[in-house]
Structure 1
Amino acid sequence: MAEFFPRDAATAGPGLALFLNAGDPPPDVLEDLVLMLDEEGVECLELAVPFPDSVTDGPVVRRSARRALDRGTGLDGVLEFIARVRPRLRHLRIALLADWSHSLKHRDLAGATRDIAASGADGLLVHALPPRLRTTYHVAARDAALPVVTTCYQRSSEATMAEAAAHASAYLYLVAHYGRSGTAPAAGHAALAGTVAALRARTTSPIAVGFGVRTRDDVEAVHACGADAVIIGSAGVERIERALDEGSDPVTGFRDFVRSVRPPVQIRTGS
């Protein structure tokens, strides 16, 4: 099983997961970008199979998905991309995000899960999975030896949090704010400390916090709440969009963004 965030958060800060839509930038550029993330020591790429009109995404991510869809990006092509790039990665883990209705509904769930695992994906997050299929999905993922990313909100019910903690075999994605991606909680990320502690008592899997994380200060606030990792989506996707609009190199721009949000590594001194 892949260890998504193998760093010592006490000395090196939280692990970093970055969200991108497959197909934005185009696959040849995306391949160079993924290899760059590996060179930079980024722990996780949340790579989404693009889908249209997501109600949980803000305008930046929705425009990205539309560009990717206009390039013909679909699940089969994304799995081929992962299979091609995965053997060249030393550190980076890839968590595939797939929407149930757009990418999985018309496939055999067990077969699709096996195909995703066979591609080399290190984990899977299914968006908008119908509750009636959760048990079937978890059995299929377990049979395919495919770690699962689960999600919950700060204000989720106790039952929802308990279920998310019980099934998070890759990591648990704590959504910081009920709304659209790119928006931050009004009280700040540090206010999630109580929720992180409650989830920590229920799972040994890493807890990653996302939504509204844009700057190094935001990353440090997530670290302060006790999370193992931070997930950045819209702010990074915006860098891709800017580079495409300006005709500049998306890989260079994204590298600069990654370096701008990572806190300096603290050196632990012995006695």
Structure 2
Amino acid sequence: MSMSRIQEAFQGKKAFIPFITCGDPDLETTEQLVYAMEKEGAAVIELGIPFSDPTAEGPVIQAANLRALGGGVTTDKVFETVEKIRKNSRIPLVFMTYANVVFSYGTERFVKRMKETGMDGLILPDVPFEEKEEFDSVCREYGIELISLIAPTSHERIRMIAEKASGFVYCVSSLGVTGTRSEITTDIGEMVRLVKEAKDIPCAVGFGISTPEQAAEMCRQADGVIVGSAIVKLCGAHGRDCVPYVAEYVRSMAEAAQSV
């Protein structure tokens, strides 16, 4: 079986995976951010489709969601932006959004559109493992990888989720919402070991990571690292002028991840 674009991104190097909220500050800037982050060493990019009640997110990404929605961003406009990006970029792209966004669009219509626009994967942080199948069956039909999240939980549960995982496994470094943290106390190495016992699949760690030191530390234990809030903060602070600031930050994080 040939390797997916997502899995190829983890081959031979540690993957730095940045997250941005689509349409914050606007969709033109979102498009430019993708090109800049790819150029500076991002391996996969997570695109957040804004939602009015993003339960997994801390205040930084919540505010970005509200700014984007206030600017008139819709799911259709996000798809149009992806179509533009795909004319110029082959980087693996993963949507992170909420079940409601997919439901209200129509699950099959949403996933089919993902395929048509060249998206690679989907993360739905509010869908528990037990309810994953209704989305996963449609994703499999269209060749979209539904990425599983694993929190610091029981060994049996981690193994169970890992066995059915595709793309990569998103290891949540701490319980609670997204946002930067001064230290991460979860035994990430143990989570990764349990996943890999169940399935040979890349593991990337997210939630709470913001510094190059943290990125390097996590990449010693996992295959990649995911950063959202620290990047979204830059978008919030600099608005339409954020691209060079984000580019510089991504370069420092990708270098740290790959230095391991």
Is the CA contact 2:158–2:191 (under 8 Å) kept in the aligned structure 1? no
Equivalent position amino acid for 2:190 in 1: G
Matched, 1:240 2:243: no
CA shift for structure 1 position 130: 6.1
The 2-side partners of 1:163 and 1:108 are apart by 28
For 1:205 and 1:185, the matched residues in 2 are separated by 28
The Cα shift of 1:188 comes to 3.5
In the other structure, the counterpart of 1:140 is 138
Residues 41, 251 of structure 2: 8 Å contact kept: no
In the TM superposition, residue 158 of structure 1 has moved relative to its aligned partner by: 3.7
**Aligned-partner Cα distance in 1 for 2:81–2:163:** 31
- Amino acid of the residue matched to residue 113 of structure 1? V
Question: Quick check: 1:255 aligned with 2:259?
Answer: no
Deviation, structure 1 residue 59: 1.0
Q: Deviations over 1:193-220 (max 9, x none)?
A: 1111111111222100001111110001
* TM-aligned CA distance change 1:131 to 1:206, over 3 Å: closer
Distance change in 2, residues 1:181/1:111 (3 Å): same
The answer for the alignment partner of 1:40 in structure 2 is 40
The answer as to whether partners of 1:17 and 1:232 remain within 8 angstroms in 2 is: yes
Structure 1 residue ranges without an equivalent (≥5): none
Aligned partner of 2:85 in structure 1 is: 85
Q: CA deviation at 1:105?
A: 2.1
Q: Which of these residues, 224, 229, 243, is aligned with residue 224 of structure 2?
A: 229
What TM-score does the superposition give when structure 2 sets the normalisation length? 0.90
Structure 2 residue 5 is matched with structure 1 residue 2: yes
Which residue of 212, 216, 219 corresponds with 1:216?
A: 212
How much does 1:239 deviate? 1.0
Match of 2:74 in 1: 74
Conserved 8 A contact 2:180-2:229: no
Which residue of structure 2 lines up, in the alignment, with residue 174 of structure 1?
Answer: 171
Larger Rg: 1
Q: Does the aligned pair in 1 maintain the 2:211–2:253 contact within 8 Å? A: yes
C-alpha change, 1:228 and 1:29, in structure 2 (3 Å) is same
Task: Classify 1:74/1:166 alpha carbon distance in 2 versus 1 (closer, same or farther; 3 Å).
Answer: farther
Q: Are 2:202 and 2:223, in contact at CA under 8 Å, matched by a contact in 1?
A: yes
For 2:6 and 2:55, how far apart are their aligned partners in 1? Answer: 30
Structure 1 residue 195 and structure 2 residue 191: aligned?
yes
Matched residue SS, 2:104: coil
Q: Could you say which residue in structure 2 is the equivalent of 1:98?
A: 97
How many Å separate the matches in 2 of 1:266 and 1:107? 41
Number of matched pairs: 255
What is aligned with 1:64?
64
Contact 1:83/1:120, CA 8 A, preserved across alignment:
yes
Q: What is the aligned counterpart of 2:201 among 202, 205, 216?
A: 205
- Indicate the SS of the match to 2:145: coil
Normalising by structure 1, we get a TM-score of 0.86
Contact 1:148 1:167 in 2 (8 A): no
DSSP 3-state at the match of 1:243: helix
3-state SS of 1:209 partner:
strand
Distance in 1 between residues matched to 2:193 and 2:203, nearest whole Å: 10
Does the aligned pair in 2 maintain the 1:20–1:233 contact within 8 Å?
yes
* Greater RCO (CA < 8 Å, at least 6 residues apart): 2
8 Å CA contact retained: 1:18, 1:231: yes
| Aligned-residue CA RMSD (Å) | 2.1
Give the distance between the partners of 2:63 and 2:224, measured in 1 at CA. Answer: 26
Deviation string 1:124-149 (CA, Å, 9 cap, x unpaired) is 11232266642222111111111121
